[in-house]
């Protein structure tokens, strides 16, 4: 009966529709946005856990900063080295839910490959050194004298072609610049090396000729590019087993236990590929996504840059390849233009109509003549980085291939870090072992220099009692006695081929480690167990969840969740005020009815239950509709998927599309919220209604 009364009253007042609408909107919002955020959280967890963090991260408890895998507010964090990794790994892998502990350490380096002339001259120098038996390079070792001669001839031709390009540049500069703006020394240098006589006599003083080119000609070309390379040093075998989304794209994985480098595919494409080719790829991708060169400013810029910046390409070609490229372009463009730069500029004038065909022509006809990537698979990459102590350390690593994480191929966050073996990482990190520390301390003791503070330096150095001038005794410095041969270059081949045991890989310092769990749903419990074990066994490590280890990135979802809660609170807060006022008005309007009901024997509890039931039915009907609409919207979104709007969103969506899932928890929470909101907002009017006396109802009638 009460429900019938409630239903009749619900339909009687239009204000109920407004109240119901608010409840519906709030519930819909909560179900849909809450579901989206949950799905985003899950997707991001898959991205972070599956690409670098694992479920839990470990780092030294002595570290000054907190671990932030994707960088903190102040750049790289200051993490102390974990020196007892084998004991930590052994202890934690015995815990119930721990599947694997993978050692890590990350850092970054600026790679300066030099300009195209530097690179070509270095190649020529190495070829001559190999011919003289001064270089034991595994890539050149098996070549016969004739093969080396042939390579030397080809490389010399390439250098001469570069000089021709420089000479042409110089002539153009002389035509447009004032005489004083041109350095006569540079003009003379280019003139000297462009003559046949220089090349005829080249091998009379090979090293002198090379140094002339390196010091006088190479600085004239300013195309050297700086590449920032972020890398993660890890046990590559364990990493690939534990992070199963990682896939080799080009080349092979690093052989088990060996040194090596895997470049993140996205980084390889963005930073190491010939810029003209990369822009053509981007134009093609954009066209496939429906963007038009004719109307899109970014695509117009790509075309403009491709037309203007052809120098990298031109300088890569020797005379034979220049002639071949010119011939092919003349044929394609139906042109009689003889200048390759002009032909390339015309070729790169791509439009929506010709892009597809020019992209095909470029890869079929021009790409085979050039090096598309600055670093090729199989090359040795020299990485120079600042060590822990601030000095520069360098290592040579062989590039075995490129890799990407499935679904995150376009994500700059997942595709911005390359992988390096842990032994090379440690060489770059420059951790001071006890032996090295003692060597430095001995050097300091032998020198016996006194310490001088900045504050009193002037008094200490120039105050009374100090004399500045002294007669020196001539010294005899015999460097042959000074050098022990410790700096002898380690044979690249030995390092490349050496297979390190698991004990050697785990044995040195690491900066952090990823813990993979058997059951990810028990993360919090396992985290607490690891921290308790670390404390009890004095492992001097701190364990944090993947979310905490992600730094600011891990807090993004929490931020949006906070915004959602505030929005829902705001909507339901307004709903509560409106429901309260509406119910008060409705109660006053129904004074006579309620008075009459009281007069014929209705108890106060009946009146209270009646009013609460009315608002309960209102809430449940409109809230229910909100939940149903929200569920339908989620089902639609799940079926259709939300495409990632940009490359950054790939990471948050864990792939090209987010497929939101309806969360049961959100439905239950939505129902609880509706119940509480309607109860709280109706309670006061309901109590007022119970206080209406029959006498007052009759007086109101009179």
Residue closer to another protein, measured from CB, 173 or 490: 490
Question: How far apart (Å, rounded) are the C-alpha atoms in residues 404 and 370?
Answer: 25
* Among the residue ranges 83-91, 140-148, 301-309, 451-459, the one whose residues contact another protein (CB under 8 A): 451-459
Question: How far apart (Å, rounded) are the C-alpha atoms in residues 245 and 239?
Answer: 10
Position among 62, 256, 436, 498 found at the interface with another protein (CB under 8 A):
436
Question: How far apart (Å, rounded) are the C-alpha atoms in residues 448 and 36?
Answer: 67
Return the SS3 of 98.
strand
Question: How far apart (Å, rounded) are the C-alpha atoms in residues 232 and 226?
Answer: 19
3-state secondary structure 382-421: EEEEECCCCCEEEEEEEEEEEEEECCCCCCCCCCCEEEEE
Q: Which two tokens stand for residue 552?
A: 């600011």
Position among 406, 444, 589, 693 found at the interface with another protein (CB under 8 A):
444
Q: β-strand 392-405 against 261-264: which pairing, if any?
A: parallel
- Which residues, 6 or more positions from 14, have their beta carbon under 8 angstroms from its beta carbon? none
- Least distance (Å) from another protein to the CB of residue 392? 7
* Among the residue ranges 7-15, 111-119, 163-171, 510-518, the one whose residues contact another protein (CB under 8 A): 111-119
Residue closer to another protein, measured from CB, 186 or 633: 186
Residue closer to another protein, measured from CB, 4 or 447: 447
Other C-beta atoms within 10 Å of 170: how many?
17
- Least distance (Å) from another protein to the CB of residue 436? 7
Return the SS3 of 142.
coil
Is 176 a binding residue for another protein by CB under 8 A? The answer is: no
Position among 463, 503, 521, 536 found at the interface with another protein (CB under 8 A):
463
- Least distance (Å) from another protein to the CB of residue 668? 52
Q: β-strand 226-234 against 417-421: which pairing, if any?
A: parallel
Using CB under 8 A as the binding criterion, the count of chain residues that bind another protein stands at 69
- Least distance (Å) from another protein to the CB of residue 143? 18
Question: How far apart (Å, rounded) are the C-alpha atoms in residues 622 and 630?
Answer: 12
Position among 461, 552, 566, 574 found at the interface with another protein (CB under 8 A):
461
Interface pattern 471-490 for another protein (x via CB under 8 A): xxxxxxx-x--xxxxxxxxx
* Among the residue ranges 5-13, 35-43, 467-475, 556-564, the one whose residues contact another protein (CB under 8 A): 467-475
Q: β-strand 261-264 against 417-421: which pairing, if any?
A: antiparallel
* Among the residue ranges 118-126, 288-296, 364-372, 674-682, the one whose residues contact another protein (CB under 8 A): 118-126
Q: How many CA atoms lie within 13 A of 3 on its CB side?
A: 3
Question: How far apart (Å, rounded) are the C-alpha atoms in residues 593 and 589?
Answer: 9
Residue closer to another protein, measured from CB, 73 or 469: 469
- Least distance (Å) from another protein to the CB of residue 632? 59
- Please say whether the beta carbons of 274 and 362 come within 8 A: no
Return the SS3 of 541.
strand
Is 346 a binding residue for another protein by CB under 8 A? The answer is: no
Residue closer to another protein, measured from CB, 392 or 532: 392
Query: Could you tell me which of 701, 583, 667 has the C-alpha nearest to residue 30?
Result: 667
- Least distance (Å) from another protein to the CB of residue 163? 18
Is 639 a binding residue for another protein by CB under 8 A? The answer is: no
Is 297 a binding residue for another protein by CB under 8 A? The answer is: no
- Please say whether the beta carbons of 398 and 421 come within 8 A: no
Question: How far apart (Å, rounded) are the C-alpha atoms in residues 263 and 266?
Answer: 9
* Among the residue ranges 26-34, 318-326, 459-467, 609-617, the one whose residues contact another protein (CB under 8 A): 459-467
Question: 618 to each of 127, 328, 611, 631, how far by Cα in Å?
Answer: 86, 77, 11, 20
Position among 62, 87, 112, 305 found at the interface with another protein (CB under 8 A):
112
- Least distance (Å) from another protein to the CB of residue 141? 14
- Least distance (Å) from another protein to the CB of residue 298? 33
- Which residues, 6 or more positions from 485, have their beta carbon under 8 angstroms from its beta carbon? none
The residues facing 394 across adjacent strands are 384
- Least distance (Å) from another protein to the CB of residue 484? 7
Interface pattern 566-605 for another protein (x via CB under 8 A): ----------------------------------------
Is 562 a binding residue for another protein by CB under 8 A? The answer is: no
Residue closer to another protein, measured from CB, 443 or 600: 443
- Least distance (Å) from another protein to the CB of residue 211? 6
Question: How far apart (Å, rounded) are the C-alpha atoms in residues 42 and 182?
Answer: 62
Going through 303-444 in order, the beta strands assigned E by DSSP cover 380-386, 392-405, 417-421
Footprint (CB under 8 A) of another protein, residues 371-410: 382, 384, 386-392, 394-396
Residue closer to another protein, measured from CB, 205 or 364: 205
DSSP letter assigned to residue 55: S
- Please say whether the beta carbons of 350 and 293 come within 8 A: yes
Burial of 442 (0-12, 13-18, 19+ CB in 10 A): exposed
Question: How far apart (Å, rounded) are the C-alpha atoms in residues 696 and 317?
Answer: 104
Other C-beta atoms within 10 Å of 680: how many?
13
Position among 449, 536, 600, 639 found at the interface with another protein (CB under 8 A):
449
- Least distance (Å) from another protein to the CB of residue 435? 9
Interface pattern 193-232 for another protein (x via CB under 8 A): --------------xx--x--xxx-xx----x--------
Residue closer to another protein, measured from CB, 482 or 521: 482
- Sites of contact with another protein (CB under 8 A): 64, 112, 114, 118, 122, 125, 134-135, 207-208, 211, 214-216, 218-219, 224, 382, 384, 386-392, 394-396, 432, 436-437, 439-440, 443-444, 447, 449, 452, 454, 457-459, 461-464, 466, 468-477, 479, 482-490, 492
């Amino acid at each position: 009966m009460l429900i019938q009364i409630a239903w009749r009253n619900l339909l009687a007042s239009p204000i109920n529709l407004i109240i119901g609408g608010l409840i519906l909107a709030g519930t819909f919002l909560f179900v849909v946005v809450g579901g989206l955020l949950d799905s985003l959280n899950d997707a991001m967890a898959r991205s972070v856990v599956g690409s670098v963090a694992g479920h839990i991260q470990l780092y030294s408890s002595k570290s000054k900063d907190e671990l932030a895998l994707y960088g903190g507010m102040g750049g790289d964090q200051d993490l102390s080295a974990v020196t007892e990794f084998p004991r930590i790994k052994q202890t934690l892998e015995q815990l119930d839910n721990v599947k694997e502990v993978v050692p890590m350490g990350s850092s970054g380096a600026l790679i300066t490959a030099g300009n195209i002339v530097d690179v070509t001259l270095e190649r020529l120098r190495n070829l001559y050194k190999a011919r003289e038996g001064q270089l034991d390079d595994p890539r050149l070792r098996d070549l016969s004298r004739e093969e080396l001669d042939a390579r030397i001839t080809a490389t010399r031709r390439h250098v001469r072609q570069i000089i021709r390009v420089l000479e042409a540049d110089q002539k153009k500069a002389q035509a447009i610049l004032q005489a004083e703006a041109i350095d006569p020394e540079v003009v003379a240098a280019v003139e000297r090396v462009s003559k046949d006589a220089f090349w005829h006599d080249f091998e009379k003083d090979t090293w002198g000729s090379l140094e002339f080119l390196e010091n006088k000609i190479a600085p004239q070309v300013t195309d050297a590019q700086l590449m920032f390379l972020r890398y993660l040093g890890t046990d590559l075998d364990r990493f690939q087993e534990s992070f199963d989304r990682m896939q080799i794209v080009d080349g092979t994985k690093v052989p088990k236990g060996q040194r090596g480098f895997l470049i993140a595919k996205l980084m390889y494409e963005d930073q190491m590929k010939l810029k003209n080719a990369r822009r053509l790829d981007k134009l093609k991708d954009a066209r496939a996504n429906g963007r038009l060169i004719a109307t899109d400013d970014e695509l117009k810029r790509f075309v403009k840059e491709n037309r203007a910046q052809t120098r990298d390409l031109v300088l890569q070609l020797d005379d034979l390849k220049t002639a071949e490229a010119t011939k092919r372009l003349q044929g394609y463009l139906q042109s009689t233009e003889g200048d390759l730069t002009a032909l390339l500029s015309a070729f790169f004038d791509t439009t929506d109509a010709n892009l597809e065909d020019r992209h095909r022509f470029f890869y079929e006809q021009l790409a085979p003549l050039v090096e598309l990537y600055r670093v090729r698979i199989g090359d040795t990459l020299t990485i120079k980085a600042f060590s822990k102590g601030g000095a520069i350390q360098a290592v040579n690593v062989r590039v075995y291939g490129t890799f990407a994480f499935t679904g995150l191929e376009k994500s700059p966050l997942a595709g911005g870090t390359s992988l390096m073996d842990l032994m090379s990482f440690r060489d770059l990190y420059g951790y001071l072992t006890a032996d090295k520390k003692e060597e430095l301390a001995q050097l300091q003791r032998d020198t016996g220099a006194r310490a001088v503070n900045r504050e009193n330096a002037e008094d200490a150095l120039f105050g009374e009692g100090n004399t500045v001038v002294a007669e020196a005794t001539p010294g005899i410095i015999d460097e042959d006695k000074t050098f022990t041969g410790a700096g002898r270059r380690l044979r690249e081949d030995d390092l490349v081929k050496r297979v390190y045991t698991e004990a050697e890989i785990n044995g040195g310092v690491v900066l952090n480690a990823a813990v993979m769990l058997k059951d990810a749903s028990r993360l919090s419990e396992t985290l607490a167990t690891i921290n308790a074990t670390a404390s009890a066994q004095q492992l001097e490590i701190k364990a944090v969840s993947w979310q905490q280890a992600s730094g600011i990135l891990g807090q993004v979802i929490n931020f949006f969740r906070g915004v959602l809660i505030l929005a829902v609170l705001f909507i339901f807060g307004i709903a509560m005020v409106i429901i309260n006022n509406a119910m008060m008005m409705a109660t006053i309007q129904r004074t006579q009815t309620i008075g009459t009901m009281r007069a014929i024997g209705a108890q106060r509890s009946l009146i209270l239950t009646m009013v609460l039931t009315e608002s309960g039915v209102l809430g449940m009907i409109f809230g229910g509709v909100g939940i149903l609409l929200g569920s339908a919207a989620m089902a639609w979104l799940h079926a259709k998927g939300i495409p990632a709007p940009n490359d950054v969103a790939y990471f948050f969506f864990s792939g090209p599309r987010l497929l939101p899932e309806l969360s049961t928890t959100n439905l239950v929470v939505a129902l609880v919220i509706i119940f509480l909101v309607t109860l709280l907002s109706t309670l006061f009017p309901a109590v007022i209604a119970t206080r209406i006396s029959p006498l007052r109802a009759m007086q109101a009638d009179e």
